[in-house]
Amino acid sequence: MRDLTGRQETIKVPGKTVGQVIAALDAAYPGIRDRVCEGDRIGPAVAVSVDGRIAQLELFESVGEQSEIRFLPALSGG
Amino acid sequence: MRKKETGRADQSTLTGGYAVIGTRPPRYDAVDKVTGRALYGPDIRLPGLLHGKVLRSPHAHARILSIDTTCAEALPGVYAVVTAEDLPRAEDRRARLGEGAVNFKYLCDNILASAKVLYVGHAVAAVAASTPHIAEQALALIDVEYSLLPAVVDVLEATRDTAPLLHEHMGTRSLAGESRTPSNTASHFQQVKGDPEKGFAEADVVVEREFRTATVHQGYIEPHAGTAIWGADGRLTVYATTQGAFTARDQLAELLDLPMSRIRVVPTEVGGAFGGKVTTYVETVAALLSRRAGRPVKIVMSRSEVFLASGPTSGTAIRVKMGATRAGRITAAQAELYYEAGAYPGSPVGSGAGVMFGPYDIPHGQIDGYDVVVNKPKTGSYRAPGGTPANSAAEQVIDELAERIGMDPLEFRMLNSAKEGTRQIDGAVHTHIGCYEVLETAREHPHYSAPLEGPHRGRGVAHAYWGNWGAQSSSAISVNADGTVAMVTGSVDLTGTRTSLAMQAAEALGLTLEQIVPSVADTDSIGYTEVSAGSRTTVATGQSVVKAARDVIAQMSERAATLWGVPADTVSFHRGTFTTGQDATKSTTFGELAAMLSRTGGPITGVGNIDVQEWGAAFGTHIVDLEVDPETGKVTILRYTVVQDVGRAIHPSEVEGQMQGGAVQGIGWALYEGYQYDEGGQMLNPTFLDYKLPTALDVPSIECVIVEVPYPKHPYGIRGVGETPILPPPAAIANAIYRAVGRRMDRLPMTPGRILEKMGVI
């Protein structure tokens, strides 16, 4: 998504949940929401990591003031 | 950390202070399964049952110009004929179903092809008739006109600009958006940590290799089967060979455009799945036929249909580059993974990327993953999906790095071992793990230091990581007046989980295993439960039954309080007995209190609904000794040891079974198995005669070493066990072959012919 953020690799935004963070990212860099969400959910091929842990609550997952959020390919099992 | 060596005649338990956990009771399902009484999908019999058969494309890639079913419909004994026209149009939208993303439009098209057929075996039409033979006759009367198209079955060929396009309007999707240029590369992702260029510059030794692996099938013995029947009220019941009744229900709801409340899925016993029975194949078709015919319809795939038209796992092309210092520290790792998705997007390339370097602390890295469509059946999950090819590549390069540095292979891995807090290339951070402990246990095992003498013999090792899974489960425990309990869960029992779940309930309730009566419910009878996959069942549904058990204890404590006239919070429960701090003379057993429920307020049912959000990863190391026949290239495995961290072994025999079973499947992947295609996209070996699975003649007794580094956020410390053991075998065997004959292998399966080619004999 660095094409939307001017090649910045790390962005700081406010938010208390993953959903609020994505909204803030999209406000600053329009189009980001569409890259990671489908409808009102995180896209099924995307996983969100908060402080190194996959966010099972997706958009409702709480984040701290210093939390690190990453977007990854969703993994699967068999 | 505790460890026990098992696999010997005097197997001991791993009780760790528990009464039931760590013992080895007979499985609940064992007697029925070994005596033939267990009811599997193909065994379903219903009054008025019709037999369904599916017409499949003989071409790998073609447009469907017309389908004429007139003659088939007129055949006496035929009650229904359906094509894609009978399916509601599924939306071009994706959802997370089972364990990965599903595009419903593609799922629908895979069930019954509409405009194009995309692989040999692609379903085109289906018939329901009074006998299977009449159904087959009717298939031959369906006239399909095709316009042939060139096919592509190689993953790298499919990425070229000149390759025939499977989906003319599909671009490459990534987090950078979707490209407008049509491509067979459905998606691309890139993960970066640090500065790989800097990391390679700091390396004293760099190894770069390319690898290829074949399409491989899960090889379950039981074929797919589905029986559908509609009630007069319009509700659909489907008996399905599925790993997840709720996932199957959700797929059916979408494909048939029905509310999920109008569908009941009854999971039958499953004769092997390994990830391949998450996606529905014949169930939807059976439902369409049954609705048209007004009678129940059963469809059972043949073995060839299973190979041609279910969901094997990806063939791959993988390039790995790694660098290390002479002191043995890995400085950088880089990989490109091209995975076949089959006819529609959705390979497990993401999972493969997520685990290949996971066991190591690597400061700089980059992984690029490509999901590529080819004219083969749409891939499905196979035990640690995507992991085995990626692990095979990485662990062979690691082996070569260790050799070039002059370091012992396990010492090299231990020096670079991940630990709690290690950040992986994709950004995920390891929590409480047993990576180092597993490596250390393998290094100290007698197998690793045993002499191996004789020509053309070699020893190899490989290490692996799998993340496992949690997610949603539902269970209910009801107390019977005789002190037994009925335990109902939504988890399909693939691997003996009825028993491992009952053991957890028994431990929590202070009961014996004989006092637990487990059952697996249909979708009308229990809350939503995720698929039995991802090594989640004993972990997540286990937490669910423990929660239900604690709910039972809380309610029973209130009854005891009522009986004794004391506050409920003064009642304690320990090892099957209730007492109160208010009166030392008062105590009652679980069974005594159960007998009084009807007089103290009525029945008690404990509920355990849970969404497990944290779970423990697992690591495994395999050691293999083998011999290569220099004239035939045949590999004989002499000794095989599996070392794995399982957190806590609930049922050690079941755990060992998983370790051995995964290892055997990995051995098959390494040495024997692979789809073979001609240039036209025809599979040449779609039967067990020609697709060789390893048998008892091909593998030695596999020694299992259970390592226990309990995961602190599970009540009993459990980690998932089922998937990790399929990851190391190909690399371990390849590394052993290198030591036996001095040649590095780069292609799976490592058949005798390929070994002889590498040796220069042919």
Residues of chain A neighbouring B274 (CB-CB closer than 8 A): 78
pLDDT at A74 over 80: no
Closest by CA position to A19, among listed A55, A51, A44: A55
The amino acid present at B58, given as its one-letter code, is P
Report all structural domains of chain B as residue ranges with CATH numbers, in order of start: 1-16+434-439+447-468+616-762 (3.30.365.10), 470-612 (3.30.365.10)
Query: Among all residues of chain B, which has the CA nearest to that of A40?
Result: B95
Least-confidence region, from A13-17, B243-247, B318-322:
A13-17
Q: How far, in Å, are B61, B87, B322 from residue B148 at the CA level?
A: 6, 24, 44
Q: Do the Cβ atoms of B366 and B355 come closer than 8 Å?
A: no
Q: Give the three-state DSSP class for B659.
A: helix
Strands B618-628 and B485-489: unpaired
**Inter-chain contacts counted by CB atoms under 8 A, chains A and B:** 114
Residues 245 through 274 of chain B touching chain A, CB cutoff 8 Å: 274
Residue B761 has pLDDT above 70, yes or no: yes
DSSP string, B100-115: EEEEHHHHHHHHS-SS
The partner residue sitting opposite A78, judged by closest CB among B354, B382, B426, is B382
Return d(Cα B606, Cα B516) in angstroms, integer: 14
H-run or E-run covering B502: helix B497-509
Contact (Cβ atoms closer than 8 angstroms) between residue B334 and residue B321: yes
pLDDT at position B16: 65
Mean pLDDT, residues B540-550: 97
The pLDDT of B178-195, averaged and rounded, is: 92
Show the tokens assigned to B368.
Answer: 């690029």
Token representation of residue B633: 């290239």
Share of chain B above pLDDT 70, in %: 96
Looking at the predicted structure, is the pLDDT value of residue B2 above 50? Answer: no
How far away is chain B from the Cα of A47, in angstroms, using its nearest Cα?
Answer: 10
Are the CB atoms for B238 and B359 separated by under 8 Å? no
Interface test with A, best of B103, B106, B175 (most A CBs within 10 A): B175
pLDDT value at residue A78: 61
Q: Residue A51 has what pLDDT?
A: 85
As a whole number of angstroms, the distance between CA B30 and CA B749 comes to: 34
pLDDT for A58 equals 85
**Tokens 């640090």, located at residue:** B194
What is the Cβ-side half-sphere exposure of residue B248, based on CA atoms within 13 angstroms? 37
Domains and CATH numbers, chain A: 18-73 (3.10.20.30)
Question: Is residue A13 less than 8 Å (CB to CB) from chain B?
Answer: no
Q: How far apart are CA B386 and CA A76, in angstroms?
A: 9
- Least confident window among B503-507, B572-576, B666-670: B572-576
**For B619-653, what is each residue's pLDDT tens digit?**
999 999 999 999 999 999 999 999 999 999 999 99
> What's the per-residue H, E or C state across B545-571?
HHHHHHHHHHHHHHHHHHHHCCCHHHE
What's B540's DSSP letter?
Answer: I
> CA B536 to CA B278: how far, in whole Å?
14
Q: A70 to chain B nearest CA, in Å?
A: 7
Residue with tokens 């690691």, as numbered in its chain:
B398
pLDDT, average across residues B219-233: 97
3-state secondary structure B398-453: HHHHHHHHCCCHHHHHHHCECCCCCECCCCCECCCCCHHHHHHHHHHCHHHHCCCC
- Nearest by CB to residue A35, choosing from B177, B369, B534, is B177
Measuring CA to CA, how many Å separate B493 from each of B40, B477, B523? 12, 17, 15
The whole-angstrom separation of Cα B649 and Cα B129 is: 49
- pLDDT, residue B144, reads 98
Average pLDDT in the B711-729 region?
Answer: 96
Q: B405 and B397 in contact (C-beta within 8 Å)?
A: no
Given a cut of 70, is residue B7 above it in pLDDT? Answer: no
Phi-psi region of B633 (alpha: psi -120 to 50; beta: other; left: phi over 0): left
Residue A62 contacts B where some CB pair is shorter than 8 Å? no
B340-369 exposure pattern, b = at least 16 Cβ within 10 A, e = fewer = bbbbbbbbbbbbbbbbbbbbbbbbbbbbbb
In percent, the amount of chain B with pLDDT more than 90 equals 92
Q: Is the pLDDT of residue B467 over 50?
A: yes
Rounded distance between C-alpha atoms, residue B266 and residue B244, angstroms: 10
| Nearest residue, CB atoms, A49 vs list B97, B218, B427 | B427
CA distance B95 to B131: 37
Q: Could you say which of A1, A53, A54 has the minimum Cβ distance to residue B175?
A: A1
Residues of B in contact with A35 (CB under 8 A): 175-177
First to last CA, chain A: 30
User: What's the pLDDT at B338?
Assistant: 98
Residue B104's pLDDT band (cuts 50, 70, 90): confident
Please give the mean pLDDT across all residues of chain B: 94
User: Average pLDDT, whole number, for chain A?
Assistant: 83
Asked if the model's pLDDT at residue B480 lies above 80, the reply is yes
pLDDT class for B690, splitting at 50, 70, 90?
very high
